[in-house]
């Protein structure tokens, strides 16, 4: 297993929709394992393939990964291949949402309270399940990545513009030094 480099905003590839996985082979399974290791290393609860530079509809997640009580024994990952939200209901405010690809920024994001997801597991088996609360936020956030959407695309234009201005200023300062 290997740690992967996380792609960060404003990298243009993050705004591109991901390609469907046609064949689940050893390369895909290895990518999933590496994504899981990277997610835990970065203290994330979810990670989508585009965030590590792979334009495929794959995500990994573990809602308990950010638990401060985690002693490393809860390091199981769940992987979804070609996931899609097929039903959504309710309203939920995801408070202080963050992203491994959007550095040093958190915001409140309006999300659905409950989502029904259809996907495949690593063996190609079809899955369909319903989640609510934090797991529903993780599904929406990571599937957004697969559709080329960042959580900052779901906040006010003013907050997004302020973040963008700060990032470009930091990039300019880094180039100057």
Residues with active-site annotation: 142
> Could you give the maximum distance between any two Cα atoms of the chain, in Å?
51
Residue by residue, DSSP assigns 114-142 as EEEEEEE-TT--EEEEEEESHHHHHHHHH
- Kindly state the DSSP code that residue 12 receives in the 8-state scheme: G
Dihedral of the CA atoms 53, 118, 106, 18 (nearest 10)?
Answer: 20
The Cβ of residue 154 has, within 10 Å, a number of other Cβ atoms equal to: 18
Strand order in the sheet with 126-132: 46-48, 58-61, 78-89, 114-120, 126-132
Quote the tokens at residue 16.
């591109």
**Any idea what DSSP says for residue 53?**
T
The helix or strand, by DSSP H or E, that contains position 82, with its residue range, turns out to be strand 78-89
């Amino acid at each position: 297993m290997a740690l992967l480099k996380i792609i960060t905003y404003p990298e243009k590839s993050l705004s591109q929709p991901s390609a469907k996985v046609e064949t689940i082979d050893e390369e895909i399974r290895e990518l999933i394992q590496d994504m899981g290791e990277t997610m835990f290393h970065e203290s994330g609860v979810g990670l989508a393939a585009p965030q590590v530079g792979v334009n495929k509809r794959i995500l990994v997640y573990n809602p308990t990964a950010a638990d401060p009580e985690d002693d490393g024994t809860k390091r199981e990952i769940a992987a979804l291949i070609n996931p899609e939200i097929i039903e959504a209901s309710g309203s939920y405010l995801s408070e202080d949402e963050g992203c491994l690809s959007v550095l040093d920024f958190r915001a409140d994001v309006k999300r659905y309270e409950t989502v029904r997801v259809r996907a495949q597991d690593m063996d190609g088996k079809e899955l369909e399940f319903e989640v609510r609360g934090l797991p529903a936020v993780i599904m929406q956030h990571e599937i957004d990545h697969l559709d080329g959407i960042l959580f900052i695309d779901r906040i006010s234009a003013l907050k997004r513009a302020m973040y963008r201005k700060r990032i470009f200023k930091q990039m300019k300062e880094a180039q100057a030094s």
